[in-house]
Structure 1
Amino acid sequence: MWVSSIKSLFCRRYVKKVNLSRFYHVSALGRLKPSFSNPIPQDSVVAHSQFLEFDRVGVVEALNGLRKDPNLAFSLFNLLKTGGRFSHDVYSYAAIAEILCVWGLDRKLDSVLLEIIRKEGDDADFGILEFLQVLEERLESRCSHVLVRVSGALVKAYASVGMFDEAFKLLFLAAKRGFTPHIRSCNFLMNQLVKHKKVDLAMEIYCRLKTVALSPNDYTYTIAIKALCVNGNLKEAENVFWEMEESGVTPSDFAYTTYIEGLCTHGQSDKGLRVLQECIAKKAPMDASVYAFLIRGFCNEKKLKEAERVFADMETQGFPPDHHAYSALIQGFCKAGYLTDALHLHSEMTSKGIKTNCVIFSLILQGLSERGKNADAAAEFKKFEGMGIFLDETCYNIVLNALCHLGKVKEAAAMLIEMKSKQIVPDLINYTTLVQGYCLKGKLIDAWNLFEEMEKIGHNPDITSYNVLIGGFSRLGYARDALSLLNYMEALGVKPNIVTDNMIIEGLCIAGKEEDAEEFLDNLEEKCSENYSAMISGLCQAGNTKKAFKIFVRLSKQGVLVTKGSFFKLLHNLFVGDDHKKALQLLKQMLLLDPMPPKIMYRKVIGMLCEAKKMDSAMWVFKAMVKTGLTPDSKIYTMMIDNYCKLNCLKEAFALLHDMKNRAIKPNAIIYTCLIDGSSRQYRVESYTERVGMGRKENKTDPVTILAEMKDAGVQPDVICYTVLMEHYCKVSNIEDAIGLFKEMVDGGLKPDVETYGSLLSGHCEVGDINKASVLCKEMLDKGIRPNDRINSLLGFHRKLKDMILDHVINSILRRGGIRNLKAMIMQHGIAF
């Protein structure tokens, strides 16, 4: 029926009578089939459209005639635009907008309004205001809701294309004209403004809502809370809840979650937790995601104990920890260096059927790599790979870097090939990492070949790639090649930076080509302190400390401050060479030039010396620090006591403990743990000397006595402390006391880790109690704790124990669902074959 009407309408009234023969082509419109899913196809209408001429009035009347069939009207509107048949004006746009709005076809209306906005930007014959005016005239007094809906849709359309100023003006202009958009349109605009960091404009809308008789709803208030939190205005965000209460609006779980997230983001996780507890007390709605925000917040504030408590509390409140909660806590453990805990937590997560991913893997691998545990990173990668989880370029790059630092460049190269075989395209970072590995190994030809391969496949080297290769050539003394590569790089439009210059200077010094390094430095048009720092660093690595010190003295007289990296390298070399006089001169000079607080500088120096096992020098700096009137802090005492204990210098360690108490500085759990560990080793040595009749040393300190002193001082032992003391009991065949400590630890709310289980398992095996070892190992696996190398070694040595554990694991796997990929699932438990 509608087909013939269109045919007659166009033939009689809406096509100009230019030539009678032209009407033969119009009949094609009559052959269209009405269908909502198949609007009028362009290729079936009017073969020679250039012969049809439409006027504005005719098009508007045609659209008006299709009011009851909005989909057909919309199809006709679009059809007329194609092939240049007709250029819609403000009147036809107003007509189609009214039809679509009345029928609630929001998506089609949005497309029309966006078209008008784009036309306005292209110098169209009319703008939005003229469009609204024509629409208002069309409607007269009827259908005022159409103007409200169109205005709201226009506000959203402007916001969706980032035209926020226009959206803001239109919102309040429409309200002034009496057709205020719905609050949902305001919410959309405010939310987009917050997403694009235009928080002030969003809050201006919020503050002006009441002036246009708009009542905010719960989502409006939540957006305002989010906006204020983004800007760190947490007190104002809290006041929004009072405004909600005054307006009779009940805050949603989203409002509370948004506020708590803001508190956690700005370092107020403690307050965030209090808000959560208040919500729980008054049974306010709450979302599980709030726990992940709190865990991440506490981890960022280095409050891991609080993060763990929140994690544990989730289950109590009826929210089993999800992927986000596990991910946040694993990341916190990795950043803090608690990698054993991170691996334990990851095993627990997967054992509960919560899917892991490459993002979590990369956090663990990065944590291992950053702490120099490159071998562990490579081993964990293999374990993850065996679990059948997709590993992305980031995971591969961490392991590539780890292998290169281990000198296993062949394995790294094989891994690059493996990536390609798995359809993972190595990126520029992957290639650059392997190039650096070849350079560190001295294989410059391989490095250059890989560099060329990288270029051929379309990975244009960036400044980092060039710096790595230039540094490699320089360190091996190929000055000309390094400079040739520098010229080649510049010819391709890649500009060298300070790092490039420093790579060449430091590399040439390391290679013993100091004259070439000095010549290059002299020829630089602009020199900076970092260039001289590179020279000092290179000379120190080459062992020419004397010359490096002369350069430092010359620079310091000129008031030039070298980088902290080169300073510590020079200081380290002076202490290693027992040149304490120059070391003190260097330290004093740096304290004069560097704004770093003196105590932090001393702490860094002592830490560096402790790491190098130069305890005499560390004590010399400690005493020099005290002479200046500075009081050593707990961190300095901890470093020194720890290293004295590792070197079996317990007399010096206990002297520092006594000194610490005299200064009213409370020893921490780490210090007591170090002393217990050191005393345990000495106890076993002295017990051996007694057994072989060599006499007994004086001042023997019992580890148990230290534990008692620790508790008397109000310092609670942690998992590590208990584990160290259990290890002591197990090694002196006192398994009963070790079991007693294990029970005391668990009863006190502490969770045993893989090291704790390893110590107790070792003790049971030592006394031949395989059955108790089996029970303990099963308990560990059921908690999702994966065996480490020590436990796997025990399983390998005690075949009966391993068979019992494998039976337990296999039965557990079968209960969870079949035997597919059984070996991989056993490996997931960490058990080595």
Structure 2
Amino acid sequence: MLNQLRLWALLRRPPKTMNLNPLAYLVVLKPSFSNLAAVDDSMDFSISNPRDPVREILRGFKSFGPFKFLSSDHFRMLISGLSPSQVDQILHTLRTHDAEFAVAVFHSLRDDYGFRHSKISNFIICHIVAEKGYLRELRQILRKMVESEGSDSAPCLCELLWNNFRGWNSSNLVWVMLANVYSSYGMVCDAFFIIRRMKHYNFQPSISTYNNLICNLRHPDINLRYPDIIWYIYRDIKASGLPPSEYTYSILIDALCNQSRLREAVTFFQEIVRKEFRPSIVLFNTLISGFCSNGSVDVAKSLLCMMLKYRVLPDGYSYNTLIHGMCVAGSVVEAMEFIHDMERNGIEPDLVTYNILVNGFCLLGNMNMARDLIWKMQFKGLDLNVVTYTILICGHCEMGNIREGLKLKKEMISQGFQLSIATYSVLQSSLCKVGLLDEAMGLLCEMKAVGLEPDLITYSILIDGFCKNGQMEMAIEIYTEMCSKGIIPDSFVYGAILSGLCQKGMISEAREYFDSLTQHYLVVDIILYNIMIDGYAKLGNIDEAVLLYEQIIENELTPSIITFNSLIYGLCNNRRLADAKRLLSHAIKVYGLVPSVVTYTTLMDAFYKEGNLNDVHELRREMEAKVVAPSVVTYTVVIKVFCKQSRLQEADQVLSDMRAKGLTPDQITYNTLIQGFCKVRNQEKALELFFEMQKHNLEPSPVTYNILINGLCMYRDLTRADEMFLYSLQNPNVRLTKTAYTTIIKAHSAKGNAHKAKIIFDLLERGFEITIKDYSAVINRLCKRFLLNEAKDFLRLMLSHGVYPDQELCHIMLNSFRRKGDVSSMSELMAEMIKSGLHY
């Protein structure tokens, strides 16, 4: 049993908020501080107060040595009262005497004392590290500044740079790097502003600065925000007199392709070819890659012909890119033909080519063709590499063949290859899906043993697997281990834990955990709200679900259709159908959401259960009007309604409509329809549907047999009921319920077939626990038929199993014996009654 106190203690333990990417110094600073020795009382620090902490700190560095004074209590006391402007003074002074020590003090104040430096201090250190050529550290400092300042902060930083650092060494490099950092964060307007200001201040941006900016225009979301900025930048390059390089043209075309602006990419390509120079293989490959990425493989193939027109021969990259595009599009067989084209042009397919093709067949689930390609590779002398093995492992795992995936893993290790974290994650995911959680944990231990550090994805897979399996304590232990390593969970992890707690019925623990996330860690995510609302709805606590919905509105989050589906489900389960329908007709429309098939099906099923059949038909018509495709469950609800209204022909037509639309009816669909025909005594149609199920490779369930046997017995067709019963016994995949046995036993007993009833009763005893009620049902029916000897046989059988008749059964049998004049049997039964403590 889950130890809830332990679980909750773990859940309430906050994740460690450590610095996940600590700044690593590029160099070990070893300042001599010889210049600092020149600092004395005669130096002008522009400080009137001789006891000023700035002067005391500088004097402390001189008197006690820099590193000793940095770690002293006196320094800690002084620094606690310093303002950012005073630190600016200290760093400015140290820069003049020993620049590297200024950098050391900057990092110590920030990392050891938690001091928040001003922009001035940051720029002082930026100029120092830029002058010394420490470009990585320069980028890291500027990245932190940009992260802190956010978008639209470039004008402020530019003004600060120009007013305070004009004429400083390496100032141009700081400007360029700042533009690059803004660009890398997708803040293209800020980056472009800095470039324009540089030109205004006579700093000349290099073509590489422009290239870096264009590189970051390849993201589609940037195109939505700044649709024309790419051409502004290109015109700015031309106006600056900078000659665009071939790389510039290449990334411009690539950026256009990544924004799905293929027509503009082709037009620009034709323009530069017409005006400037013969296109190179690089430009053609960029276009081929762009068109393949956008799914326009046919256009990409035509570019190969255009290459020959310009006397540019395709290379291996050209073919591999095109083959990859065709494989992604599912045209793997056609992609195979390009291997022959490669060989005709003197290009030998390499390992990359074969890996692409193997991956293509794996994506199609054709592992046999993938295996044939592997043999062809090896025949040509190409050995499998890590990528090949990973592709094959992913392919087998995707097909559910985890054993083959593990076998390839062993082979991979025996060949001396090191599995990647991604490969381990694929295997772990497959193991978790089939419930082999111990084996998945074994792979985690194996990863650690070979020196691989599990990442967020690895831990997420395991946490989700244990949560879905209901092993919450283990899931929380893994969660705790992950946080202890400084890996911050994401919404997927939080969601997995919340879902697991809700599924275990631990709704109060889930709510407290949810509140801790939203209040203390500022995780505000509609997905987490949806999980909690769904948890409350399924447990019947619709009031709490509605309160959470109101909280969503207060937090200015946008509810999703999943939010409303859960609320509608909860309201329907609480029989508040008017409120549920109001959500459909008003609240969902307010947010511009489209009701899904789940929305309609939930409401239709609820109205059916309440007997509001007209409302079900109304919702069905609304679905059709809004072109919401029904699901199998939707059709099943409609069939229930028609069966309830005895409109069996229309119900049967719905089944035909499902198949016509490519939907496969499930067992519940057929069971509903079969039961409908049984109720109207149309056993012929019911049996026809039964055999139709098998024709479509759908195994009838025990419920199917129950319905048919009950229907046949109800209308005295015991011959076919026996056939159906025997048919079910011969099917190893079906285990009839006790109800099916008792139904046919009662039917034979009522008809006087005591022998058959006894045979089936013996079968019933072998698989189920027999109660007084089961015996009474048979004996009662035999007595009504005056088959008293058979009734006595069942009575003896009952007594032999230690089951004694109750008073009602005794009364029935005594009355039957009395009417028959069987005094000896009456005496015998009365003796049994006395023995059982019953009184007549």
Please give the TM-score of this superposition, normalised by the length of structure 1: 0.52
Q: Offset of 1:214 from its aligned partner?
A: 1.5
Q: 2:331 aligns with which of 233, 241, 263?
A: 233
Shifted more, 567-576 versus 187-196: the winner is 567-576
> Could you tell me which residue of structure 1 aligns to residue 527 of structure 2?
429
Matches within 5 A, 1:591-606: 598-599=693-694, 601=696, 603-606=698-701
Aligned pairs (5 A) from 1:345-424: 345-363=443-461, 374-376=469-471, 378-389=472-483, 390-420=488-518, 423=521
What amino acid does structure 1 have at the position aligned with 2:602? M
Distance between the aligned counterparts of 1:463 and 1:362, measured in 2? Answer: 25
Q: Distance in 1 between matches of 2:174 and 2:642?
A: 88
Q: Aligned equivalents of 2:528 and 2:308: distance in 1?
A: 56
1:473-484 equivalences in 2 (<5 Å): 473-484=571-582
Aligned counterparts, 1:749-828, within 5 A: none
Confirm whether residue 514 of structure 1 aligns to residue 514 of structure 2. Answer: no
| Aligned partner (choices 262, 278, 296) of residue 360 of structure 2 | 262
Partner of 1:698: none
1:342 positional shift: 4.1
Within-5 A mapping of 1:270-669: 270-280=368-378, 282-284=380-382, 287-335=385-433, 341-363=439-461, 374-376=469-471, 378-389=472-483, 390-420=488-518, 423=521, 425-486=523-584, 488-489=586-587, 492-494=590-592, 497=595, 499-510=598-609, 513-515=610-612, 518=614, 521=617, 526=622, 537=637, 548=644, 550=646, 554-556=650-652, 568=668, 571=671, 585-586=685-686, 588=688, 598-599=693-694, 601=696, 603-606=698-701, 640-641=731-732
| SS, match of residue 732 in structure 2 | helix
Q: Deviations over 1:339-358 (max 9, x none)?
A: 56445444544554433345
What is the CA–CA distance in structure 2 between the aligned matches of 1:189 and 1:642, rounded to whole Å?
56
Change (3 A) 1:603 1:351: farther
Residue aligning to 1:794: none
Q: Does 1:181 align with 2:272?
A: no
Letter in 1 for 2:606: G
Structure 2 residue 137 is the aligned partner of structure 1 residue 38: no
1:503 maps to amino acid: T
Q: d(CA) in 1 for partners of 2:174 and 2:516?
A: 52
Code of the aligned partner of 1:468: S
Paired residues of 1:467 and 1:499 also in contact (CA < 8 A): yes
- Structure-1 separation of matches of 2:261 and 2:654: 54
Amino acid at match of 1:504: L
CA–CA distance in structure 1, aligned partners of residues 720 and 497 of structure 2: 43
Match in the other structure for 1:692: none
Q: 1:430 to 1:131 in 2, by over 3 A?
A: closer
Taking the aligned partners of 2:604 and 2:437, their CA distance within structure 1 comes to 37
Question: Cα–Cα, structure 1 residues 327 and 274, in superposed 2: closer, same or farther, change >3 Å?
Answer: farther
Following the alignment from structure 1 to structure 2, what is the Cα–Cα distance between the partners of residues 154 and 479?
57
Give the whole-Å Cα distance in 1 for the aligned partners of 2:653 and 2:734. Answer: 36
Deviations 1:323-362 (A, max 9, x none): 2222223333444565564454445445544333453455
**CA, structure 1 residues 131+436, in 2 after alignment: closer, same or farther (shift >3 Å)?**
closer
The answer to whether the 8 Å contact 2:332/2:361 transfers is yes
Distance in 2 between residues matched to 1:424 and 1:254, nearest whole Å: 45
**Offset from partner CA, 1:593-648 (integer Å, 9 cap, x none):** xxxx74365634237669x9x9989999xx999999xxx9xxx999x53665999x
The CA deviation at 1:568 is 0.7
Q: Deviations over 1:508-529 (max 9, x none)?
A: 444xx324x6457558864769
- The 3-state SS of whatever aligns with 2:559 is coil
Which one of the candidate residues 295, 305, 311 is aligned to 1:207? 305
- What's the secondary structure of 1:460's corresponding residue? coil
Instruction: List per-residue Cα deviations over 1:706-742 (Å, max 9, x = no partner).
Output: xxxxxxxxxxxxxxxxxxxxxxxxxxxxxxxxxxxxx
Distance in 2 between the 1:76 and 1:399 partners?
Answer: 45
Taking the aligned partners of 1:40 and 1:286, their CA distance within structure 2 comes to: 47
Contact 2:635-2:654 within 8 A present in 1 as well: no
Shift of 1:555: 3.2
User: Using the alignment, how far apart are the partners of 1:338 and 1:123 within structure 2?
Assistant: 51
8 A contact 2:572–2:606 mirrored in 1: yes
Read off the aligned partner of 2:470 and give its amino acid letter.
A
CA RMSD of aligned residues (A): 5.7
Please give the alpha-carbon distance, in whole angstroms, between the structure 2 residues aligned to 1:340 and 1:76. Answer: 55
Q: Relative to 1, partners in 2 of residues 1:518 and 1:355: Cα closer, same or farther, differing over 3 Å? A: farther
Cα distance, 1:207 vs. partner?
Answer: 2.8
Decide whether aligned partners of structure 1 residues 616 and 469 sit closer, same or farther in structure 2, where only a CA change above 3 A counts: same
AA partner of residue 397 (structure 1): G
Q: Distance in 2 between matches of 1:285 and 1:449?
A: 61
Whether the 8 Å CA contact 1:323–1:354 is kept in 2: the answer is yes
1:108-150 per-position Cα deviation (integer Å, ceiling 9, x unaligned): 46769999xx99969999998x979x99xx99xxxxxx88777
What residue ranges of structure 2 are gaps of 5+ in the alignment?
A: 1-161, 177-191, 218-222, 714-718, 739-765, 767-840
Give the number of equivalent residue pairs. Answer: 537
Residue 489 of structure 1: CA displacement?
0.8
Question: Kindly tell me: are residues 608 and 406 of structure 1, through their superposed partners in 2, closer, same or farther at Cα, counting changes over 3 Å?
Answer: farther
Contact persistence 1:506–1:537 (CA under 8 A): yes
Distance in structure 1 (CA, Å) of the matches to 2:232 and 2:418: 60
SS at 2:700 equivalent: helix
CA distance 1:406–1:229, shift in 2 (3 Å) = same
The whole-number CA distance in structure 2 between the counterparts of 1:483 and 1:75 is 52
Distance 1:293 1:536, change over 3 A: closer
Contact 1:555 1:561 survives alignment (8 Å):
no
Q: How far apart are 1:393 and its partner, in Å? A: 2.1
Give the deviation of 1:468 after TM superposition. 1.8
Larger Rg: 2
Amino acid at match of 1:555: A
> How far off is 1:502 after superposition?
3.5
d(CA) in 2 for partners of 1:571, 1:147: 71
Read off the aligned partner of 1:548 and give its amino acid letter: K
The one-letter code matched in structure 2 to 1:461 is: P
